[in-house]
Structure 1
Amino acid sequence: MARPRKDVKFQHRANNGKGRRPSAVSDSASEPGSPVSNGQGQKSEGEAPPQSEYEKKKQTFITRMIWTFVMIAIFFVSMFAGHLYIIMVVTAVQVISFKEVIAISNVPSRARSLRFTKTLNWYFLGTTMYFLYGESVIYYFKHVILVDRVLLPFATHHRFISFMLYVFGFVFFVGSLQKGHYKFQFTQFAWTHMALYLIVVQAHFIMNNIFEGMIWFFLPVSLVITNDIWAYIVGITFGRTQLIKISPKKTVEGFVGAWIFTIIFGVMLTNIMMRFSYFICPVNDLGANIFTGLECTPNPVFTHHQYTLPFVPPTWSHVPHSMDIAPIQFHILVFATFASLIAPFGGFFASGLKRTFKIKDFGDSIPGHGGMTDRMDCQFIMGFFAYMYYHSFIAVYKVSVGGVIEQAITGLTPDEQIELVQRLSKHLVNQGVISSKVLDYLTVQLNRR
């Protein structure tokens, strides 16, 4: 057996592997012109140096500001162009937000093997929007829909049609279940329905606010934006006490300070908007815009009333004993309070959701801002509240032409409808609104049927 040689050092061991035989990868790395040969991994001459942290923040800030002004311009141009255009904006926000939330739970590898996963998500979105939008159009424009021969069957059976569309999707989902993917498919099914409720359904009520009058849309949106701005300004200036753990940057001082400034802003904005019929009138013409305006009998909340101030002694002549104010100014205190104290929890909910899935933003739909959902997280619950509050405490319910037509078409037989037309015509003749010849002609035509 050969004796081991002492004091003999192999080159590749003594130099810690520096002298070992290079591999094909290391050969290519050490070729002239490679990063290794040009200074151990330094950038080549053609590449730009990496941006500093300051430059990145500066670029992000510029991008954020540019897109902020773009969004403001789109918002105001759409609002002044007419109710139809602002509804289109709300619809776009609705669809983009749904897409972003659905994408969170999606697993691309499984989605590729399950061909109809995304198709079902969008099918349920389309079915839900058909039902909700149809309900709104029939409710607010029944005087047009119910007298159209083509649209009448769809309006009369709208809810049944919507239900059957959903049932088809449900049956298709059950039929598409595959072994080994049950958990993923049912997770997608539940996640889709959660997104439909939290985004699509609440956005539907925001659209209804537009139909009731532009002020019921613009006011809640503005209050949330104003509260967010003042919460940041007051918080960064005076903030000391953390408000909630899920959002460490939120402070009690900013929370309370923003509430005060939001109330002040709300009172001022309402005082301006209530002077224009375009903002306070319900929609009766989708072609109206800020220049053509709308005409209506204003809701009593926009009419000034004289209120006696309590606890003011009659002997105090130098102190006013009453004030002239519109009731909407009292309601705006409730709106501003909800926008300041409750609506931010929609943002906290979204923050918790993002932390759960370890993501920074819901998407990148808006450069510099993240996703659409990041900007709308508080708006959905605020719009829902505005709809509920309006119909509970502000709306004035009265008989409308559309309501009478709906009752006549859906609740009366053809013979009863003819009798209604004849009696209504006779009433108009007695009132001198139409000529008796019109009644005679109408009677002859009806008797010929």
Structure 2
Amino acid sequence: MPSPRAVESRKLERKVSSLRRRRGSSIGGSGDLTGTATAVVEADGGKLLVDQPAESRYRSFRIRFVSSIVLIASFLAIIWAGHVPLMFMILGIQAMMVKELFKLARHAQAERRLPGFRAQQWYFFFVAAFWMYIRFIKNNLIVEITSSARLARMFGWLLKRHTILSFYLYTAGFVSFVLTLKKGRYTYQFGQYAWTHMILMVVFVPSSFFVSLLFEGLIWFLLPTALVIVNDIMAYLAGFFFGRTPLIKLSPKKTWEGFLGGCVGTVVAAWYGALLMSQFKWFICPRTDLSIWQPMPCAEVPETFRPHTFHLKDLLHDTNPALTEAAYSVGTLLPAQLRDAIAGFSFTCLPMQLHAVSLALFASLLAPFGGFFASGFKRGFKIKDFGDSIPGHGGVTDRFDCQVVMAVFSYIYYNNYVAKSAHSVAAVMSAALKLAPPQQLEVLGRLANVLAGQQVLPAHLRDAIAQQAQRALGG
């Protein structure tokens, strides 16, 4: 009598053979994909983890666990290195994601007659990187280049003309594309042109918001990304041991038990993770320059990371007025003593812990839809994974699809609820560089007068600055 595993194997082989006969060996016009991959996805991809053979489940678990440990260790090493290495890590991840997506719609036979076509796609990627990254680290660059007169002379023009220079670079790529159009390949070339821009708009640009958060304090980059990873791990474990109820057809292995278990685990991890990370200046202080392995410059702990006592009634006043009215309406239905107890309830924590809970709820409830979107995308191309660069996880895009959504939310959340309009040396220098040289000299002279009046600048230096300014202005 055949074993249950042999019966299961024969069933899978029959399904694969049937799908091969019906669909042939090629799929969706992509010369790199085969019908066999599709058959395996459809034949086995719909099974929940608990329904798969124990040996297969635990082999997959071991591979995934080992690769996760390697990824986490590498990530921690780059965190130790600092902000700039992390920035280049983000760029590297984006390049790998874009590479995987470029490959999806690639038709090798058509591109043999289009020399340099793939280089055009990467040209647009680097133009987008030049525009986004310089835009986000502009203030840090200003601090660096103004530390030396030679650097200021060499690169000052780049920061002043960054936007128009980015446009010129893009226009050059656009003209190159038009000049390389070939008869009989118009549909393919314009399709790839649209595909390139869609990838940059949907994947590259949103994920670049993490670069801005990175220099506001490592915690604003590390915590959101860690919460997505924690949610993925918690949901996987909950689904692995308890998952029985399918969640969404786009991702058949996802279950309601995993979804809710991931949410609870992520909120708990966010609360204590934010408390732990807030103890280190390396995580909470903003980086105003581009130095590596240098101590953080902030002299005191930002207010967001200091303990604060919160009263429930004060929190209600700070929320949406409609929600406040609804809360008071419900409160009138409660007994007076209970209503007073609730209104007077208070607790002490770091404001960052409350922000972390908000980030955790988004990472658990909404960011996973980035993964569901990617699952639908893969089904449209009839593939199981975007790549195979991470053992047990698939491609880089498979691991970072939710991070794209999280990056945008974290950026918007930080700038709406956390960031304060405070002046800095970088912000003042950025504004001063937009002035004409005579106006810059006038600002310098007036600032010298203020500093001399405060007895910070010696009088002879003030006089020397004033004389030089008058001489340059023709006075």
Task: Sort the TM-score into its range (normalised by shorter chain).
Answer: 0.7 to 0.9
Q: Is structure 2 residue 434 aligned with structure 1 residue 410? A: yes
Give a deviation string over 1:346-366, Cα, whole Å, max 9, x none: 111111111111111111222
Q: Report the AA paired with residue 360 of structure 2.
A: A
Q: CA deviation at 1:377?
A: 0.9
**Partner of residue 450, structure 2:** 427
Choose the corresponding residue for 2:193, options 184, 189, 193: 189
Q: CA separation in 2, counterparts of 1:162 and 1:416?
A: 27
Does structure 2 retain, via aligned residues, the 8 Å contact 1:78–1:86? yes
Aligned partner of residue 208 in structure 2, secondary structure: helix
Highest CA radius of gyration, 1 or 2?
A: 1
Aligned partner of residue 226 in structure 1, secondary structure: helix
Does structure 2 retain, via aligned residues, the 8 Å contact 1:128–1:196? yes
Q: CA separation in 2, counterparts of 1:256 and 1:238?
A: 11
Does structure 2 retain, via aligned residues, the 8 Å contact 1:124–1:169? yes
**Partner of residue 210, structure 2:** 206
Q: CA deviation at 1:314?
A: 10
Q: Report the AA paired with residue 427 of structure 1.
A: V
**Partner of residue 216, structure 1:** 220
Choose the corresponding residue for 1:343, options 351, 356, 367: 367
Give a deviation string over 1:226-260, Cα, whole Å, max 9, x none: 11111122223333322111111111222122111
Q: Is structure 2 residue 308 aligned with structure 1 residue 305? A: yes
Q: Is structure 2 residue 423 aligned with structure 1 residue 399? A: yes
Q: Report the AA paired with residue 195 of structure 1.
A: I
Unaligned runs of 5+ in 1: 1-52
Q: Report the AA paired with residue 173 of structure 1.
A: F
> Structure 2 length normalisation: TM-score?
0.77
Does structure 2 retain, via aligned residues, the 8 Å contact 1:206–1:380? no
Q: CA separation in 1, counterparts of 2:62 and 2:236?
A: 19
Aligned partner of residue 153 in structure 1, secondary structure: helix
Q: CA deviation at 1:174?
A: 1.5
Q: CA separation in 2, counterparts of 1:306 and 1:320?
A: 12
Give a deviation string over 1:110-169, Cα, whole Å, max 9, x none: 111111220111110111111111112213332334661111111111111100111111
Aligned partner of residue 181 in structure 2, secondary structure: coil
Q: CA separation in 1, counterparts of 2:453 and 2:269?
A: 53
CA separation of 1:96 and 1:304: change in aligned 2, threshold 3 A: same
Does structure 2 retain, via aligned residues, the 8 Å contact 1:306–1:325? yes
Q: CA deviation at 1:58?
A: 7.3
**Partner of residue 274, structure 2:** 270
CA separation of 1:293 and 1:140: change in aligned 2, threshold 3 A: closer
**Partner of residue 76, structure 2:** 76
Choose the corresponding residue for 1:162, options 162, 166, 170: 166
Name the structure where helix makes up a greater proportion of residues. 2
Identical residues among aligned pairs (%): 39
Q: CA separation in 1, counterparts of 2:108 and 2:404?
A: 28
Q: Report the AA paired with residue 222 of structure 1.
A: A
Aligned partner of residue 191 in structure 2, secondary structure: helix
Q: Is structure 2 residue 362 aligned with structure 1 residue 358? A: no
Q: CA deviation at 1:57?
A: 7.6
**Partner of residue 137, structure 2:** 137
Deviating 4+ runs (over 4 angstroms): 53-63, 309-317
Choose the corresponding residue for 2:179, options 154, 175, 183: 175
Q: CA separation in 2, counterparts of 1:176 and 1:273?
A: 52
Q: Report the AA paired with residue 105 of structure 1.
A: A
CA separation of 1:380 and 1:315: change in aligned 2, threshold 3 A: closer
> Structure 1 length normalisation: TM-score?
0.81
Does structure 1 retain, via aligned residues, the 8 Å contact 2:305–2:350? yes
Does structure 1 retain, via aligned residues, the 8 Å contact 2:98–2:199? yes
Larger RCO, structure (CA 8 Å, separation 6 or more): 2
CA separation of 1:58 and 1:326: change in aligned 2, threshold 3 A: closer
Q: Report the AA paired with residue 246 of structure 1.
A: L
Q: CA separation in 2, counterparts of 1:157 and 1:293?
A: 30
Aligned partner of residue 113 in structure 1, secondary structure: coil
Does structure 2 retain, via aligned residues, the 8 Å contact 1:213–1:279? yes
Q: Is structure 2 residue 398 aligned with structure 1 residue 374? A: yes
In terms of mean alpha carbon deviation, does 190-199 or 417-426 score higher? 417-426
For residues 279-318 of structure 1, the aligned pairs below 5 Å read: 279-289=283-293, 292-309=295-312, 313=337
Q: CA separation in 2, counterparts of 1:72 and 1:288?
A: 21
Give a deviation string over 1:73-130, Cα, whole Å, max 9, x none: 1100000111111112111101011000010000011111111220111110111111
Q: CA separation in 1, counterparts of 2:442 and 2:153?
A: 21
**Partner of residue 442, structure 1:** 465
**Partner of residue 411, structure 2:** 387
Q: Aligned residue pairs: how many?
A: 394
Q: CA deviation at 1:320?
A: 8.6
Q: CA separation in 2, counterparts of 1:305 and 1:427?
A: 37
Q: CA deviation at 1:65?
A: 3.6
Aligned partner of residue 114 in structure 1, secondary structure: coil
RMSD value over aligned CA atoms?
2.6
CA separation of 1:321 and 1:343: change in aligned 2, threshold 3 A: closer
**Partner of residue 245, structure 2:** 241
Aligned partner of residue 410 in structure 1, secondary structure: coil
